[in-house]
Structure 1
Amino acid sequence: MDKQPHSPAREIIVANAIRAVANELRLIDVADYIAFIRLESLASVADIVESAAELYFMPGTLRLGHGCDAHVTWGGSPRISLDLELRPQGATVYFTLELSADNAGVEVNYVAFDNPSDDPEANSRYLADTLQASRIVRTERPLING
């Protein structure tokens, strides 16, 4: 898939939106990802993604896309690549999240808008706004003594 010309700016938007989810996904033992991927148990990986996403996004906003891959060699650190779909209202983002021991990275492959503007920057602003609107806002409730 050819990258769109505005992908770098949108990668920043997506990375900022899913930072907390990526941190949750990195809590899973890499051996579990490797086992699920090698055994082609993509439903298990999808469950992991869905469980991490439900803490931060409205249901159905983030899900596993068409696959994932484990990059494991004798001489290097393992990396897990997850093809993901972000589906906030009015847009769909197809991207790859790469997880490693020390960090996570995002590569946006394609963004589709239901009602795109002729202005790519307006589309990017819409993407940022709709992702923010899809987030679950948690507030701390005070403890009640009594």
Structure 2
Amino acid sequence: MKRTQYSLARVEIISSHLAEVINDLRLVDVADYIAFIRCELFGNIADIVNSATELTFHADTLTFGLGGEYSLDWSSTPKVMLDLEFSNMGVNAYFRLTLSGEKSEIDLHHIRFADTGRTPADNTALLAAAFNNARLPQLTAPE
């Protein structure tokens, strides 16, 4: 997706809402992701993503997009790229999450808004509202 002020704000919205999910996805060994991708066992990755999202998002709002890649060679840190899909309140976002030892990145591929005719700023606000609405209430520990 072409970088604009709106796409940068939208990536920031997605990134901020995925922090807990990314932490959970990092609990799986990178070798397992690479093996699943290499052997095209995408159902296993879908299960991992579902497990990572079940405490943060309502069911079926953030899912694995059944695609992924990896980068592994002798001179760099391994990278795993997972296609993810978000769907809630008429907003569909398709993006790639890249996990590496140093950082994680979101590459936003496409966003579809069911209600067309809004301004880009309104659409960005709708994306933020859709993510907020998709999140489960966080439980707090008893004191």
**Helix, strand or coil at the partner of 2:44:** helix
How far did residue 141 of structure 1 move?
5.0
- In the alignment of these two chains, the number of paired residues is 142
Could you tell me the TM-score, scaled by structure 2's length?
A: 0.93
Matched, 1:45 2:42: no
For structure 1, list consecutive stretches of 5 or more residues without a partner in the other structure: none
**Percent identical across equivalent pairs?**
37
Could you tell me the TM-score, scaled by structure 1's length?
A: 0.91
How far did residue 14 of structure 1 move?
0.7
**Helix, strand or coil at the partner of 1:87:** strand
Aligned AA for 1:61? T
Across the aligned residues of Structure 1 and Structure 2, the Cα RMSD in angstroms comes to 1.5
How far did residue 142 of structure 1 move?
2.5
**Helix, strand or coil at the partner of 1:80:** strand
Q: Distance in 2 between matches of 1:67 and 1:32?
A: 15
Q: Indicate conservation of the 8 Å contact 1:7/1:110, yes or no.
A: no
Q: Any idea what the Cα deviations from partners look like across 1:44-99, whole Å, max 9, x if unmatched?
A: 01111111011100000111114000110111100000011011221000000000
For structure 2, list consecutive stretches of 5 or more residues without a partner in the other structure: none
Matches within 5 A, 1:106-117: 106-117=106-117
**Helix, strand or coil at the partner of 1:16:** helix
How far did residue 140 of structure 1 move?
2.1
